[in-house]
Amino acid sequence: MLRYHYLLAALLLCLFAVSAQAQTGVVINSPKVNLTDFRIGYYVDDSRNLDYAQARQQPYSETSNNASLGTNARVAWYRVELDNQSGEELALNVHLPHAYHVKSVQFYTERDGKLVSQEDLDLERVDDSNLMFRGAAVYPLLLPADTTTTLYVRSFVYSHQWFALQIYDQDHSRRALVGVANDIALLVGMMLALVFYNLLLYFATSKIENIYYSCYLVSGLVWIALSYGLVASLFDVYGQDVFMLNISLITMPIFLMLFMMAIFETRKHYPLEHRALQAVLLPLCGMLVWGFFDISAALKPASSMALLMMIVTISVSISLLRKGNPLAGYFLIGHSLFVLFNTLAVTFYKGLIEPNYIASHGVGIGIMLEALMLAFIISHRIKILEGIRASQDELKQQASTDPLTRLHNRRYFAAAADYLLEQCQQQGEPVTALVADIDHFKQVNDTWGHGVGDKVLVTIAQRLKDCCRSRDLIARFGGEEFVVLLPNADPHQAMQCAERMRHAVESVRIGAGTNQPLQLTISLGVTAITPGDSLQDALNRADKALYQAKHSGRNQVCLYQPAASNSDAASQIHG
């Protein structure tokens, strides 16, 4: 009985082997060929020395025509049997769309157990072959009618074995090549737009985080363009020299952490988190220097450093979030998306999951999502800073404004008047000063109360302001007294302005809760300001003219006359 069990097990193994072998064959029964999803066999050559004759004798495992065998499969052989049952000879093209990242690839065509053709493609000497087109290797394959042809492909990669094989007729081949890397070009274009936008922001704001973010974007888009074939597609360059661009894998986390230090101001506000970021930044800088001399060796610890960097940056962002930083939550979301999609990509590169678009493009998607979130953080920080600046401006405005009349106060007038006088003197413009005072204002407060008095002050202040030009400087000096500085106005023009003010106030009627509205007047003193005069001297002279207007019956405008006697120092214009 035991003997029969052994025989049954052996039979099942044979059937399984035959079944597995059959599944790696492809039947073609039409001249229209568009094979993008089928099964192939693979064998990992750990010795890296097997030739075609030796490789064809090895046991092949089954996988998809889009396979990722990880970083340990530097050399792998792939096999697929093509059974042409279309009834006619077919001229097909075999595409290796990811050939841009390999070191070399060889094609072997076998029919009836014999090698019928062979092509070698060395990416270091790509000009010696005509197989490369826009980053894809295109191998012409002739299938005689009613025959089975076996194709072997040897792939030797720099880092991870990321392999794809498609088979097309001539028409489908052209269509496939037209769309090479279009999605990556769109992604890189978006990131370039962000780079230019942030450089403009830097010139506008001089914030160093915009430079760090732009450098992070440049590093990310270089790696994306390199890893997903855009560099090969656009510039038709390959090999070790282009592989050097992988140094962007080191510069990207460097600029990300510099961005964190700048945007969160860790040196100033979070010393513990700042030291944690520095602890990761220093070895990364060492790897960067190492990479300029030996990029392949420098990238070997990249996975470990990337893991450490992710742990530290996420821990720091969580710590900052707990300490109440308003930007940390957004950074944590963006960085978590980056980590999530990168983890998905790593599992794909190591061959732990079935190939799919999101997994194979996980790093690029993660970089783009994080880049968009970092852009949002920058814009949100600008909004916060603008809010702070607006609050500061409002405080300055409140400090320089009379709260009742909303005119400038005495402090602001003193500072602004000095600057205005200096400007006028430099430009040779005449300047005059005007002082106005509400007649009998104390009686208003005593008779109708301070509420009505405040209403009088607000109304008259608005009438005086309406009579001024935009360049004139008007302020409430205190109580019922107002001061106006008139640049580029001679005494005659100032007297006309003062008269307009006097008439404007005289025509005002203010309700005081009685049948008879209040009618008020003002008196004004005007003086010219000559070069060398101080502001205080000019205001003293205007006060003397104002006193003369009051003494002469009020509701008048008087001009200070320096040549007159002290007892009659102003000429007056009666209202």
Q: Is the pLDDT of residue 244 over 80?
A: yes
Report phi then psi at 264, rounded to 5. Answer: -95, -5
- Is the sign of the CA dihedral 261, 322, 198, 337 positive or negative? positive
Please state, rounded to an integer, the average pLDDT across all residues of the chain: 86
Q: Is the pLDDT of residue 232 over 80?
A: yes
User: Three-state SS for 471?
Assistant: coil
pLDDT value at residue 478: 83
pLDDT value at residue 476: 92
pLDDT value at residue 563: 58
- Residue 504's contacts (CB-CB under 8 Å, 6 or more residues apart) are 463, 464, 466, 467
pLDDT value at residue 147: 94
Token code pair at residue 303: 């996975």
The type of residue at 380 is H
Q: Is the pLDDT of residue 257 over 90?
A: yes
Q: Is the pLDDT of residue 20 over 50?
A: no
d(CA 548, CA 567): 9
The type of residue at 245 is L
Mean pLDDT across 481-491: 93
Higher-confidence position of 49 and 227: 49
pLDDT value at residue 351: 67
Higher-confidence position of 143 and 183: 143
Q: Is the pLDDT of residue 406 over 80?
A: yes
d(CA 172, CA 132): 17
Token code pair at residue 15: 């059937």
Report pLDDT digits (tens) over 109-159. 999 989 999 999 998 888 888 899 888 999 999 999 999 999 999 999 987
* pLDDT bracket for residue 331 (50, 70, 90): very high
504, burial (CB in 10 Å: exposed 0-12, middle 13-18, buried 19+): middle
d(CA 498, CA 478): 19
Annotated catalytic residue: which of 480, 481, 499, 506?
A: 480
The type of residue at 165 is L
Q: Is the pLDDT of residue 426 over 60?
A: yes
Mean pLDDT across 163-179: 90
Report pLDDT digits (tens) over 28-79. 999 999 999 999 999 999 999 999 999 999 999 999 898 888 778 889 999 9
Q: Count CB atoms within 10 A of the CB of residue 50.
A: 17
d(CA 548, CA 506): 19
pLDDT value at residue 1: 45
Domains of the chain with CATH codes: 21-178 (2.60.40.2380), 182-395 (1.20.1070), 410-573 (3.30.70.270)
* pLDDT bracket for residue 12 (50, 70, 90): very low
Whole-number Cα distances in Å, 418 to 413, 423, 540: 8, 9, 16
Residue 555 near residue 508, CB atoms below 8 Å: no
d(CA 335, CA 455): 58
Mean pLDDT across 208-226: 92
- Catalytic annotation present for 480: yes
* pLDDT bracket for residue 21 (50, 70, 90): very low
Higher-confidence position of 319 and 357: 319
- State the DSSP code for 402: -
Mean pLDDT across 256-271: 93
Q: What percent of the chain is modeled with pLDDT above 90?
A: 49
pLDDT value at residue 181: 72
* pTM reported for the whole predicted model: 0.63
- Is the sign of the CA dihedral 33, 34, 40, 43 positive or negative? positive
Report phi then psi at 186, rounded to 5. Answer: -65, -45
528: left (phi over 0), alpha (psi -120 to 50) or beta: beta
d(CA 567, CA 570): 9
* pLDDT bracket for residue 570 (50, 70, 90): low
pLDDT value at residue 295: 82
Token code pair at residue 380: 């949100």
d(CA 459, CA 310): 65
pLDDT value at residue 201: 86
Q: Is the pLDDT of residue 170 over 90?
A: yes
